[in-house]
A and B are shown apart, each in its own frame.
Chain A
Amino acid sequence: MPSHILIRNGTVLDPGRYHGPGDVLIEGPVIKAVGRDLPVSLRSPRSLLTIDATGLLVVPGLIDLHVHLREPGFEYKETIETGTMAAVAGGFTSVCCMPNTNPVNDNQAVTDFIRAKAAAAGKARVFPIGAITKGSQGKELADIGELVEAGCVAISDDGRPVMDSSIMRRAMEYARAFDVPVVDHCEDLHLTTRGCMNEGLVSTQLGIPGMPNAAEDVMVARNLALAELTGAKLHLAHISTAGSVRLIREAKARGLAVTAEACPHHFTLTDEATKTFDTNAKMNPPLRTSGDVDAIKDGLADGTIDVIATDHAPHAVQEKQLEFDAAPFGIVGLETALPLTLALVDDGILTLETALRKLTVEAARVFGLKKGTLAPGADADVVIIDPAREWTVDVSRFYSKGRNTPFASWRMRGKAVKTIVAGKLVYEAD
């Protein structure tokens, strides 16, 4: 394996730093230089792998702040190995995994286990997210200090939102000592009891119990108020409603330290996708209406929503074959996020640079990761993207164990063709 890589003749897009034709030279695990016509002296001919990136984009490796890798405990849905392979195939070199495993990642041992498994897999880097409360039961704080010490980059009870506002307050206060963001899945569980999809015209037509926008909005409002009270870093996961976007925009205008993410499915699909009772259109938060989709796009464009994250949530085929109300929430996202984000560029919603910022440098900033840049000396995590490549989503070819996507058979444009992590080529498209 050559220890140096030279990526030549591509369009380098290092958001906020450089956008133009150029070469990228990688020496061992770090970026050595970026620029046009790099001096030949830097090229070590004996161990140099040269990649011709003519017509391709060369970008910092993508970062996903929100994935479920399912291990430990649910290896039949996904493992750290298959999940991180899906990540690099989708252009992601770093993923942050939610703690709702079994056991829950609420202690150092689980964090250590996840990091060891990720290192052994040798694909994408994995940054664990620790639990807010023990067992994500919402009652007692987890050992947040130890979790951070072990390598957790944020805390969240994703999937089991902290309903008790007083516990959430204490968690936000306590997290300040370690400067980690508190991530919340905003859902008032009392308002979504038995709910399976967005509450609106479609749920009325189908007779499916609904989950109103208000269930998200009230928790966003609560969390913003608590962030103001405590001074905590608050990150709001998978924002899906127009009301949330409005609340976050207003909070940011007042200078609150809040950040937010949106998922590709929430800016691509509406609840009309559930009309055939397709369980692959069932996720939480649910697909909303076109008004919400437009608000998410506006929020992405004006910076209210900082980051695009996938909420990659693999499930086994037999689980999604259940009746609509019995099937679990969630879809896979790592292998489709990039083209769905690039579609926003084609549609004139985001510039190419803004779109890629939300998958790289912005994501790194939100969780304080030293990632998302091609600056000399940075970790050599790089993705080479063919923005013009058209392909059809074939779930049988996913690297993820999950096949649960509403985008099966979609025509996509844009694909990661080579992914480099720590100076190693870990993925190459056919």
Chain B
Amino acid sequence: MGLKRKDLLDVASLSAEDIHLILETADSFKEVSGREIKKVPALRGKTVVNLFFEPSTRTRTSFELAAKRLSADVINFSPSTSSIVKGETLLDTARNIESMQADIIVLRHPSPGAAETLARGVRSSVINAGDGCHEHPTQALLDLFTIRQRKAHLAGLCVVIVGDIAHSRVARSNIYALTKMGATVRVAAPPTMIPLYLDRLGVSVFFDLDRALEGADVVMMLRLQLERLGQAYLPSIREYARLYGLTAERMKRAKPDALVMHPGPLNRGVEIAPEVADSGAAVILDQVANGVAVRMGLMYLLSGG
């Protein structure tokens, strides 16, 4: 059974079966990265274009590595500006790229919905690598993959997501993915960072991190965007770190075997204390390693595997 879709634009439209299939497929590719010759011919002769309108090192590198380990040809295309500035529409840029016979376009863009707009206009498969504050589906998939490595089942787990939910595509994708797989999701943040009606997405909202952490199986920290300070979301970094920073002391409220996750890059001492980031509970580097396997699995499935 393949993934019956041309694109991966969001988690919201995936079924639990789709997610399961992607994770299983990723599992079978995981082993490739451990071989001496880290390559399989699955995408030989195919072209993958990384189209990144926002600076990104780790996500772009992860996609590039995934495509190369599948033997695809990879082109990195990083226009420095979006069409707002440049005058060329996203669609025109993408059609140009499509004319170069791209099979898969991986898009990172600051505008929510950019991937969907693009996917409607091109025949190539489109993978959303983050569109504004909307979604970052492959991040959620690799997070689920990482949790699954350590915990037998996703269903029934209590996952706490901490930080600026309102502006986080990682949070949105994870909320959709985790609730679809039967996990209980709590979010903890100052009320300024909780968007309207978030509870209707099936999560419980906490303003008090200590209470949110009680009995948690997984704690997922979000990176604090420092520019939010000037927009009155927060009084100070100091107060945020004190109220919403994950410390070793706070982690005692979670289950003893709880995992700590972070999509990176870390603001050490702000949302996460160094002793937590470097502790045995942290699976932050596993997330990075698993990102390659999940993206390999996904590209394999989208190219008709």
Contacts and interface: CB of A to CB of B under 8 A. Distances in A.
Interface in A263-281: 276-277
A323 B82 contact: yes
Contacts of A323: 82-84, 90, 109, 111, 113-114, 117
Given A322-B83, A326-B82, A201 B196 contact: yes
Contacts of A321: 89, 91
Contact of B112 (A208, A318, A322): A208
A356 B83 CA distance: 43
A201 B117 CA distance: 21
B196 A324 contact: no
A289 B82 CA distance: 31
A206 B111 contact: no
Contact of A276 (B109, B116, B134, B135): B116
Nearest to A208: B112
B198 interface: yes
Contacts of A276: 116
Given A323-B83, A323-B84, A323-B90, A207 B196 contact: no
A209 B89 CA distance: 21
A372 interface: no
Nearest to A324: B113
A325 B201 contact: no
Interface of A: 199-201, 203-210, 212, 276-277, 318, 321-326
Given A204-B201, A205-B12, A205-B201, A325 B112 contact: yes
A420 to B, nearest CB: 42
A203 B172 contact: no
B134 A322 contact: no
A322 B195 CA distance: 25
Contacts of A326: 82-84, 111
B196 A206 contact: no
A199 B197 CA distance: 10
Contacts of A207: 112, 131-135, 167, 169, 172
A204 B84 contact: no
B132 A325 contact: yes
Contacts of B89: 318, 321-322
Nearest 5 Cβ contacts at the A-B interface: A277-B113, A207-B133, A323-B111, A207-B134, A204-B195
A315 to B, nearest CB: 14
A360 to B, nearest CB: 39
B117 A324 contact: yes
A63 to B, nearest CB: 37
B4 interface: no
Contacts, number: 71
Contact of B196 (A210, A277, A322): A210
Nearest to B53: A323
Contacts of A201: 196-197, 200
Interface of B: 12, 82-84, 89-91, 109, 111-114, 116-117, 131-135, 167, 169, 172, 195-198, 200-201
B134 A206 contact: yes
Contacts of A325: 111-112, 132
Contacts of A203: 195-196
Contacts of B109: 323
Given A318-B89, A323-B90, A277 B132 contact: no
Given A324-B113, A324-B117, 5 more contacts: A201-B200, A323-B90, A324-B111, A325-B112, A326-B82
Nearest to B135: A207
Given A205-B12, A206-B134, A322-B83, A200 B197 contact: yes
A204 B112 contact: no
A199 B196 CA distance: 7
25 contacts: A200-B196, A200-B197, A201-B196, A201-B197, A203-B195, A204-B195, A204-B197, A207-B112, A207-B132, A207-B134, A207-B167, A208-B112, A208-B132, A277-B112, A277-B116, A277-B117, A321-B91, A322-B83, A322-B84, A322-B90, A323-B82, A323-B114, A324-B117, A325-B132, A326-B84
B195 A206 contact: no
A282 B195 CA distance: 20
Chain A CB within 10 Å — which of B89, B90, B135 has the most? B89
B91 A206 contact: no
A208 B82 CA distance: 17
